[in-house]
Amino acid sequence: MSFLLGYDIGSSSIKAALLDASSGRCLATATGSDEELRIRVPKPGFAEQDPEMWWEEVVKATSRLQQQHPFDATAVKGIGIAYQMHGLVCVDEKLAVLRPSIIWCDSRAVQTGDEAAKQLGSDYTLPHLLNSPGNFTASKLRWVQQHEPEVYAKIRHIMLPGDFIAMRLTGVPATTLSGLSEGIFWDFAAGKVSDKLLQLYGIDPSLLSPIVPTFGEQGRVTKQAAALLGLKEGTPVTYRAGDQPNNAFSLNVLQPGEAATTAGTSGVVYAVGSEPAYDAESRVNTFIHVNNTAEEKRNGVLMCLNGTGILNSWLRQVSGGIPYDKMNGLAEQAPPGAEGLRVFPFGNGAERILANRLPGASVQGLDFGIHSQGHLLRAGQEGIVFALAYGMDIMREMGLSFKRVRAGKANMFLSPLFREAFANTTGAEIELYNTDGAQGAARGAGVGAGVFSSFKEAFRGMDLLEAIAPDARVQSAYQEAYADWKIKLQQILSNR
């Protein structure tokens, strides 16, 4: 028997998955810790994590995986890595971490990116970067340069979170084309790193790590890493991708017209296209997809909502810590539309779909004589769905369509109410599969290691669990509530 190992480096948890390469079946999954990982907030709008904490969690998750399903380490044919996107990790010449990682939901570089967009002009940023520089990795590095020059002076390599974990495994700093695009370092029109952006920011291009293929050997596990993980020295790392391109890959979303969604800490809809596309306001963003080649271009258009599962977690806390299934049951007691109660889930950093504004979360329409705990819980889930639908409307303006959207049956999609609200608000059928990011990373490792001869073969063992289509009996109620939510959202934004 041969195995494939996948890691998902999230901001809430680090997950590992073990796949049987012959059947494609997941044999076991494990997280490093039972509690959510800590996010440091040294100032309002800041969000940081210690990269070494991620590595410690990888070690713990691998140990737990071995306890759950003991496996022969010599039979692991490849390791894949999925990771939280847009983070910045800075290391010195000895590959030691210089400061905490500035992670995806950190808003400190919004002004930096806005200023760069004005200086570069939309005639350059949109056709070349397919995005505004925004609050992405390049802008975060510029922020470090401006505000922590003593740290910047020591940087030898900058990398994304997954690049850091791969470096801890292999001892070799590296990144991918997809990773460079998600950091807004890539010039799509020129087909190379953006000299113009680097020059504007005064960033030395030698700080960028060397490029390795998304699928293929990226390095081999060192003796030191093997000893910590209980793996064989020399095991190849053969895949890495940001969490949302990887989520799409894990759901076999690879071709134009296909779309994936996820609703964990953040909520994302990710659609694949073959043409370079952009939103004039960069409210949604375009990156290189995992299966992009010179012959067949594949880009992923991504909309992100920061406050998704984190809102549901907050509602759970203020509800006395009741189980999520009980929360869902209470929410289902209220009718679609929650009798006019509206929740706006924008309380987790600047929102790209709102042009990097930070209006904060809010509740509107509360009536003490009508609304109960169930109404609030339903309105919370509906508010998340409405915000995702708002982003999907922007994507439709770019020419994308959503007849069918695939998701793993996890996180918010475990809620029947959430699934119903999503299908009936967006008009898209939802297909739910038995997969997650860590399993996707393991399947990607199998492609990169040559264990699977094709993408089709990589998805053996993945099953369709459920399909939810729009229901004419309730669809109008959801769409009326969504229309009202959009009107109130514009009122909120106009007052900011």
Give the pLDDT confidence score for residue 495 in this predicted structure. 87
- CA atoms lying within 13 Å on the CB side of residue 494: 6
Q: Is the pLDDT score of 290 beyond 80?
A: yes
How far is 76 from 435, CA to CA, in rounded Å? Answer: 20
pLDDT band at 130 (very low <50, low <70, confident <90, very high): very high
Give the pLDDT confidence score for residue 356 in this predicted structure. 86
**pLDDT (mean) for 406-411:** 94
Q: Is the pLDDT score of 476 beyond 90?
A: yes
Residues pairing with 260 in the sheet: 270, 406
How far is 474 from 382, CA to CA, in rounded Å? Answer: 13
Q: Which positions ≥6 away from 67 have C-beta within 8 Å?
A: 30
How far is 329 from 49, CA to CA, in rounded Å? Answer: 34
Take residue 329 and report the two structure tokens written for it: 């049951």
How far is 63 from 83, CA to CA, in rounded Å? Answer: 20
Q: Is the pLDDT score of 158 beyond 80?
A: yes
pLDDT band at 88 (very low <50, low <70, confident <90, very high): very high
Residue identified by tokens 């390049």 is 138
pLDDT band at 1 (very low <50, low <70, confident <90, very high): confident
Q: Is the pLDDT score of 496 beyond 80?
A: no
pLDDT band at 127 (very low <50, low <70, confident <90, very high): very high
Give the pLDDT confidence score for residue 265 in this predicted structure. 84
Give the sheet arrangement for strand 429-433, strand by strand: 285-288, 299-305, 267-273, 259-263, 404-408, 429-433, 464-468
Q: Is the pLDDT score of 416 beyond 90?
A: yes
pLDDT band at 264 (very low <50, low <70, confident <90, very high): confident
C-alpha closest to that of 442 among 80, 98, 60, 159? 80
Give the pLDDT confidence score for residue 243 in this predicted structure. 94
**Maximum alpha-carbon separation in the chain:** 66
pLDDT band at 349 (very low <50, low <70, confident <90, very high): confident
Give the pLDDT confidence score for residue 483 in this predicted structure. 98
Q: With beta carbons less than 8 A apart as the criterion, state whether 80 and 5 touch.
A: yes
Q: With beta carbons less than 8 A apart as the criterion, state whether 57 and 32 touch.
A: yes
DSSP secondary structure string, 399-436? T---SEEEEES-GGGG-HHHHHHHHHHH--EEEEES--
Give the pLDDT confidence score for residue 353 in this predicted structure. 96
**pLDDT (mean) for 356-378:** 96
**pLDDT (mean) for 97-120:** 96
3-state DSSP helix/strand/coil percent for the chain, to nearest 5? 40, 20, 40
Q: Is the pLDDT score of 183 beyond 80?
A: yes
Higher pLDDT, 60 or 265: 60
Tell me the per-residue pLDDT of 235-260, one tens digit each, with 9 for 90 and over: 999 999 999 999 999 999 999 999 99
Proportion of the chain above pLDDT 70, given as a percent: 100
215-220/236-242 β-pairing: antiparallel
The 3-state DSSP class for residue 3 equals: strand
Q: Is the pLDDT score of 445 beyond 80?
A: yes
Give the pLDDT confidence score for residue 246 in this predicted structure. 97
**Type of residue at 114:** D
**pLDDT (mean) for 304-330:** 94
Count of beta carbons in the 10 Å neighbourhood of residue 147: 12
Count of beta carbons in the 10 Å neighbourhood of residue 441: 33
Tell me the per-residue pLDDT of 204-230, one tens digit each, with 9 for 90 and over: 999 999 999 999 999 999 999 999 999
What is the enclosing helix (H) or strand (E) of 81? Answer: strand 76-83
What count of residues does the chain have?
496
